[in-house]
Structure 1
């Protein structure tokens, strides 16, 4: 059984349901939580979690939940995770705050992919669950929406500084999501009659005075023109101080930012660049793909038309020292980059990605980079040219001048390594992947 990590949830869009309700544990945790799981089991359907995880994994059952809560309980409360590894993937983080003045129950539910909610039938389960939870555990505000689009709203700050939003919370209707729960205080601040006459797919008053509002029958088409118009119309109804055209324009801009962009990366660096988009948030990804599509690395200049003759007296000794450098790089990085042990073109791409992802040139001092990393990387790069392209070392006393002959060109791996390791941007402009592919064109 596998769990959805934060990285997994960032691969494709998901429905994110955030719920924070009141929790009274005076009669015991199990009786108080029973309605929560009653609703989950009754309405989840195809997105029901299948196992519970703390320090160990258990198949989902009420008993597994109670045991997990006790295992994770401390002076402040308890937190457990419920997951589903089958499609759709599910991550449900449940946190019980038991010691504060107002004990609460916080649930963060993610169901991936968002396309699972393209049909109204699937969405009804989320709506019914939200209704049941909000009726039993009164919430000031809760919502379910596309994770990517939520990121573009700057939720939960909505443009405020940290101190302000942490103090005030969701004190007015900053944003409308696909599904919304407004507590009695929020309802009264808007006006109950105005709230209940909101133009939306569903507006329902709950027994405790909260209001459940669902904009559209389905969640997955939130970025369609029809959905954006409905969202804007409902928002300005609840916030008469807002301008409809301005709100709609902002929503359209968000839809445009999320519109899929087809990757068209430069072929020499495509193996490397294709890994980068997943490292950006869902809300940024399409813009980054467009930027990477436009990126054109400079043509490699680390070569000579004619070799400088070797000026070393003991080539075997020099090659042995290069081998030690290369092996040292492998020893340091083989856990993070297992393919480095194979000295293949793929291992160069893996190194490119590792150095970029970890901000490697900015994490270490120039003394470390110049004295250790760059020489080792140059030796490793040269060895890959020798092993995979039939190259031949032409050794020089000054390491940076040492060359590898591939066909009719003479390549300078140590010089490339030095340019490469100057900054995070230089990892893109002087990638090992591109250098190899350029040299490959001259293989005899």
Structure 2
């Protein structure tokens, strides 16, 4: 069953809920989870799950949920995942933990796009769902907020090392998000009277002693100045040791870093850079776009005028060309699963190859000897084949690979030299991209 994952759509900011509540270890699992799924079905609305996934994907239903949890059952835990087949996009995980571990229900929900939660009524329904869950499954801390802004806030570690963060959890008020549920221990740490007097859109004491706090009517406009002021007021109220102006300034800086920046990439590498920024973490994307707008790759240096071309020095040119073809096929064999367009040997396939190597951190991950002996010849030959096939180029084979040339118009190009420069480092994949040198050769072929 095909589902729509976050990686299948244009990346936008999302609303993420993190929720870990305690379970009654004595009750039957279906009885324990009845309030959870009843609230989900009542309040989710247009982001309601359509698919439940355990060992296999099944249509959402209570019966199929029990099947999924049973299929994934281990001695101390089980889990299930929930998705949709259409937008809005949903990724939801449910993990259950059993004795001798502390019995717990651990939920993460990510709904994209965040703009779905610009409507006050939809946000109210979301809050009611979380309120129901928090009343049934006591939490230490639960929160819902923008994925991008959570990352800028340092969640979930908040500046601690990972081991300390896992050990201590949300043991103090590190941040106030759009929606928060503070468990009884946190409430007592802050002071129940202080907690309940927090200036916020909604503050409610739950029957189990937790406190629900919502800073602003809607989640999507968290970057607005009034919403940031409300967030800062709540945070400083709960943490009197903090300075309001300092907290507000930090929040405004986070908002500024998320303001959309129009891409104005250098045309020769725009197809590649567009792919790169789409894969950058959402909270870093606008900064990265601005950096790429100001960046220019160095002009290709792997060429000579046709009048200065090195003559072929091989005894059997046909054999040399067959060897280049075999090298190029090695690149196809390496990448064809992840980069199907590599079969086509087009300019577009060069951008796909560039992106894949960058995405994999290829020069850093693989051994230098293997790169030099296998990857560089394969990449250089493939680049040469694309120049020949698409620009009418002609190979001038040489005994040394670095001296082999492709004649295009009034220039000869050295594809194996380019491949060697290209594979020096991850940054070199951008500085010496295959996309750029192809565009340069295309411009000069006349």
- Hey, what does 1:156 align to over in structure 2? 156
Partner of 1:213: helix, strand, or coil?
Answer: strand
Question: Structure 1 length as normaliser, TM-score?
Answer: 0.97
Task: Flag structure 2 segments of 5+ consecutive residues without an equivalent.
Answer: none
1:336 to 335, 338, 347: 338
Kindly indicate whether the alpha-carbon contact (under 8 Å) linking 2:421 and 2:432 is maintained by their aligned counterparts in 1.
yes
Partner of 1:269: helix, strand, or coil?
Answer: helix
How far, CA to CA, are the matches of 1:148 and 1:178 in structure 2? 13
Report how far residue 27 of structure 1 moved: 2.0
1:408 and 2:407 aligned? no
Q: Deviations over 1:273-311 (max 9, x none)?
A: 110012221111111111111110011111111212222
- Hey, what does 1:143 align to over in structure 2? 143
How far, CA to CA, are the matches of 1:153 and 1:429 in structure 2? 32
Report how far residue 398 of structure 1 moved: 2.2
How far, CA to CA, are the matches of 2:158 and 2:330 in structure 1? 49
Kindly indicate whether the alpha-carbon contact (under 8 Å) linking 1:379 and 1:414 is maintained by their aligned counterparts in 2.
yes
Report how far residue 167 of structure 1 moved: 2.4
Partner of 2:94: helix, strand, or coil?
Answer: strand
Partner of 2:382: helix, strand, or coil?
Answer: helix
How far, CA to CA, are the matches of 2:2 and 2:190 in structure 1? 44
Q: Deviations over 1:101-145 (max 9, x none)?
A: 531111111111100000101101111101100111111111110
Kindly indicate whether the alpha-carbon contact (under 8 Å) linking 1:10 and 1:282 is maintained by their aligned counterparts in 2.
no
How far, CA to CA, are the matches of 1:9 and 1:383 in structure 2? 33
Question: Structure 2 length as normaliser, TM-score?
Answer: 0.96
Kindly indicate whether the alpha-carbon contact (under 8 Å) linking 1:52 and 1:59 is maintained by their aligned counterparts in 2.
yes
How many residue pairs were aligned?
A: 444
Q: Deviations over 1:53-103 (max 9, x none)?
A: 112111111111111111111101210011122221112211110123531
1:102 and 2:102 aligned? yes
- 1:282-321 paired onto structure 2 within 5 Å: 282-305=282-305, 306=307, 307-321=309-323
How far, CA to CA, are the matches of 1:293 and 1:320 in structure 2? 41
Kindly indicate whether the alpha-carbon contact (under 8 Å) linking 2:24 and 2:32 is maintained by their aligned counterparts in 1.
yes
CA gap of 1:8–1:195, structure 2 versus 1, over 3 A, is farther
Kindly indicate whether the alpha-carbon contact (under 8 Å) linking 2:3 and 2:86 is maintained by their aligned counterparts in 1.
no
How far, CA to CA, are the matches of 1:221 and 1:232 in structure 2? 15
* Runs of at least 4 residues off by over 3 Å: 1-10
Task: Report the aligned-residue RMSD.
Answer: 1.5
- 1:22-37 paired onto structure 2 within 5 Å: 22-37=22-37
How far, CA to CA, are the matches of 1:256 and 1:239 in structure 2? 24
CA gap of 1:28–1:256, structure 2 versus 1, over 3 A, is same
How far, CA to CA, are the matches of 2:145 and 2:85 in structure 1? 21
CA gap of 1:10–1:205, structure 2 versus 1, over 3 A, is farther
